[in-house]
Structure 1
Amino acid sequence: MAAVVRTRLSRSVMGRLRLAAQGLSGPGFGSVPAAVRGMTAMQAQDLQASLWAVGQRVRDSRVADVRAALDRGEVVRSWPMRGTLHLLAPEDLRWVLDITSGRLIKGLAGRHRELGISAADIDAATEAALLRVSGGSAASRAELFRAFEQSGQSTAGQRGIHLLGVLCQQGLLVQGPLAGNQQLVVAFDDWITTSRRLGRQEGIAEWLLRYLFSHGPATERDFAWWSGIPVTETRAALAAVREKLVELEFEGTSYWLSPQTAALLDGGVPGQRSVLALPAFDEYLLGYTDRSIALPAHHADKIVPGGNGVFKKTIVAGGEVIGTWSAAAKGRRGAVVPEPFDDVNGLRPAARKSFELQAAKYRRFLGLEDTGGA
């Protein structure tokens, strides 16, 4: 039976446990591939934000390190779940797609009918795409879309991106090396030479366990939303792996986490005075269906204005989101500006100093300047 912890908990403590699990407090991860593998999957719809998300979890890393990992195929970016791009370890992508792609593609059937995409159209796009990138070649999105057009497949009105998405979800294509701020498209089997194979039940159980180790404390519903796995299958997977987890009861709900993260409760959970400048769409906030532990409900609209799905950059202090931040355009030495929720008192002196160190860390990550601190 899994250990059940009934200790005095608060939202701050729960949030700081998540910071530790995600490598945002403590030593973090030792390399870019280790961070992505350890996080299981990281939201990467916004490429630039995802680079900083990795950078925050790898001590002394630079944007060039993350870009190099993408260029070498040590980290890959594709559409494995929720119809959005994520970073994954290359050996994990195929078995995750085996679990998720059928449901994802079925869920897009209505939109594909609107766009006039049939099975025959997908076959034609497949032939054109693989001909274009065969033999280790790579193509920009524009070049791939031209290949679609030449095969008789219109790319207008989002038709091109949907064709590309389906071919990636089917494990035929994957985004490969970077060309500036865009990724080139390559053949999956040329780019990813080592892939694990897991059965559906085994795969969901491993995925759930890794999610709870990297995101816990979290609930089964958090994972079901995050992964797109039905709750019934999530519960079956939890029954298979619960002996490897610790259960926390908080406000009448069961949360699950790794024994290593739970052990922090014995000596006091670190990070009470930590301040972080996290990117937009970071897993610390986006990785859960219920975000109220880190983000007070009355401030939610300040992070996702109007519920439009576009997440702002966040300032996190002691596990709680206390504001947003912005970075100035190029040419101004990467000025980083805090925008706290408390627009009367702003950040307290200690928090402001910590934020300045974070700003310096962000500038160093981008290579904008060599500054001490952080």
Structure 2
Amino acid sequence: MTETLSPTDVLRVRVHALGLTATSWARGEPEASGAERIAGVARRMLAVQGQDWRSARWALGVRAPGSAIADVEAAFAERRIVRSWPMRGTVHVVAAEDIGWMQGATNHRVLAGAPKRRAFLGMSDAVLERLVEVSLVALDAAGTAGLERDALAEAWTEAGIDWQSNWRYHVIWWICQNGMATFGPIGPSGEPLLVRAEHWITAPRQYSGDDALRELAVRYARCRGPFRVNDFAWWTGLTVAEARAGLVAARDAGELAEARARDASGDPVSGAAGRLWVDPGSLGSAVSEARLPEWTLLAAFDEHLLGYTDRTAQLDQQHFDRIVPGRNGMFLPTVLRKGRVVATWKRLRTKTGGLEIASFPDTGIDAPALAPLSRDWADFHGVETGGISVVQPADAG
């Protein structure tokens, strides 16, 4: 019999799958080091949004309670996790062993547009080839110490290449997207340095073709909870047909199950919107009865929202513009109450520090209840806790 899930069921299973409940997988083994726990989070999450470096660190840390920034840095230094472009042309933090096969499964989608981008930049294929050649020589010379982006660009200049400033991002993206390089150890600037992927990643996992699509489907389901095929297709950057092929293969192998969605009144949701895919193991009583945390403090770009196209279980659509002001693609840090977004927040740039919570209209924010979360955030970052202030924003219009 096909399982049916209400919006509350979807929310509960998603929050648990995302590592945000007290009984979550993200707590890790007690004897594990901080770096091991951080790497375990990255591995379980498959990929964590990483374009905002500061936010990416907290996205990992909030799922590994008691960890600190030093643990994130150690996970990079120990070659457990890397920062690169696994899919969608978007930077993520990924377990080191997973980046290669993920790119192999999704590269055909993002690389197809590269020639058009180079034409827009005025970069010929011959110049790109020369830039790549010099880059790899420089990275080989640097070894596991890695290179800052500026140092890599200096190597181009020293090689006599007449390059333009707006080419740098494309070249670095190109060598990383094609698996020639990745961002590994943390440098003096506090951000990961470029290294040769083949020297840095010592035990890559091997998946290709249909096996890679199936693995993507299984891993996405385990760390995202119930979803629709369009969620999976968007997140991976695959076509809907490719996404569906991966889902069906996983289902036929007994690694995925289908479910049906019910609306808030209990009626079945018709059509494609009512068809859900879910990890069979997430439907047990231990998960379905797991208590949602009263309050949660999440990073900007957290997978709680970025992991899906349909976010209605986690967020009232009328508040979307408060999360992404002007719909500019910049997702603000969020405050959750029992798994749903009820506010955004930011760190106060004052001498005493602290957090400012921008509440949604008609939402009561319990500042004292948020104080422990503020301390967790401050401890992770090694800063003073400061106080919490709550403001009521003007209507987003």
With normalisation by structure 1, the TM-score equals: 0.91
Contact 2:12 2:288 in 1 (8 A): no
Question: Displacement of 1:370 after TM fit?
Answer: 7.9
Counterpart of 1:294 (choices 314, 318, 322) is 314
Contact 1:155 1:161 in 2 (8 A): no
In structure 2, relative to structure 1, the CA distance for the partners of 1:355 and 1:100 (3 Å cut) is same
Q: Is it true that 1:88 corresponds to 2:88 in the alignment?
A: no
Letter in 2 for 1:283: E
Letter in 2 for 1:187: R
Counterpart of 1:76 (choices 68, 82, 102) is 82
Aligned to 1:277: 297
CA distance in 2, matches of 1:281, 1:266: 25
* Larger CA deviation: 316-325 vs 154-163: 154-163
Aligned to 2:2: 4
Question: Displacement of 1:264 after TM fit?
Answer: 3.9
Q: Is it true that 1:27 corresponds to 2:42 in the alignment?
A: no
Counterpart of 2:152 (choices 144, 153, 159) is 144
Number of equivalenced pairs: 361
CA distance in 2, matches of 1:53, 1:340: 21
Question: Displacement of 1:330 after TM fit?
Answer: 6.7
Contact 1:246 1:262 in 2 (8 A): no
Letter in 2 for 1:132: A
CA distance in 1, matches of 2:221, 2:163: 39
Aligned to 1:327: 347
Counterpart of 2:10 (choices 8, 14, 23) is 14
Question: Displacement of 1:284 after TM fit?
Answer: 0.6
Aligned to 1:263: 284
Unpaired segments ≥5 residues, structure 2: 29-36, 262-268, 387-397
Contact 1:138 1:184 in 2 (8 A): yes
CA distance in 1, matches of 2:348, 2:107: 39
Counterpart of 1:341 (choices 342, 355, 360) is 360
Identity %: 33
Q: Deviations over 1:270-323 (max 9, x none)?
A: 20x521110000001011112222111110001011110000000111121111
Letter in 2 for 1:254: R
Unpaired segments ≥5 residues, structure 1: none
Within 5 A, what are the aligned runs for 1:126-137? 126-135=132-141, 136=143, 137=145
In structure 2, relative to structure 1, the CA distance for the partners of 1:226 and 1:154 (3 Å cut) is farther
Contact 1:17 1:217 in 2 (8 A): yes
Contact 1:216 1:255 in 2 (8 A): no
In structure 2, relative to structure 1, the CA distance for the partners of 1:154 and 1:219 (3 Å cut) is farther
Question: Displacement of 1:100 after TM fit?
Answer: 1.8
Question: Displacement of 1:259 after TM fit?
Answer: 2.3
SS where residue 91 of structure 1 aligns? coil
Contact 1:13 1:319 in 2 (8 A): no
In structure 2, relative to structure 1, the CA distance for the partners of 1:224 and 1:162 (3 Å cut) is same
Within 5 A, what are the aligned runs for 1:90-169? 90-135=96-141, 136=143, 137-169=145-177
Q: Deviations over 1:154-197 (max 9, x none)?
A: 55342111011001011111111112322211111111122122
Q: Deviations over 1:215-268 (max 9, x none)?
A: 011111101000011111111111111132233311331222222321147852
* Larger CA deviation: 314-323 vs 22-31: 22-31
CA distance in 2, matches of 1:264, 1:51: 32
In structure 2, relative to structure 1, the CA distance for the partners of 1:133 and 1:220 (3 Å cut) is same
Q: Is it true that 1:368 corresponds to 2:383 in the alignment?
A: yes
CA distance in 1, matches of 2:123, 2:91: 21
Contact 1:13 1:269 in 2 (8 A): no
CA distance in 2, matches of 1:118, 1:264: 58
SS where residue 337 of structure 1 aligns? strand
SS where residue 130 of structure 2 aligns? helix
SS where residue 139 of structure 1 aligns? coil
SS where residue 171 of structure 1 aligns? coil
